[in-house]
Amino acid sequence: MNFFRLLLLTLVVWLAYRALKHYLDRPKPPPSMPASTADMVRCAQCGLHIPKLEAVRDHEQFYCSKQHLEDSQKPH
């Protein structure tokens, strides 16, 4: 009877080891790219580089703020 208990305990320890090893060996997902480094554009008024998603757009021009868009449309 002691032999079967030892065999069962060995089997349980081995299964726990395999499950833990499988969990730790999983491939890690690649880190996502932060929004601040994705698709940067240059403000046509001041030259500041900002994320494209945060820029104010006027046709093909990008601006860092509505104020710079308005300033660029004023007659000189």
Model confidence pLDDT, tens digit, residues 8-40: 999 999 999 999 999 888 888 877 766 545 689
Q: Which residue has the tokens 């890690």?
A: 28
Q: Is residue 31 part of a domain?
A: no
Going from the C-alpha of 51 to that of each of 1, 17, 56, 67, the distances in angstroms are 70, 47, 10, 17
Q: Positive or negative, the Cα torsion across 31, 35, 39, 42?
A: negative
User: Strand locations in 1-76, DSSP E?
Assistant: 40-42, 49-51, 56-58, 61-63
More confident residue, 36 or 7: 7
**How many structural domains are present in the chain?**
1
Q: Is residue 47 part of a domain?
A: yes
Residue 45, domain extent: 2-26+36-73
Rounded CA gap, 45 and 62, in Å? Answer: 9
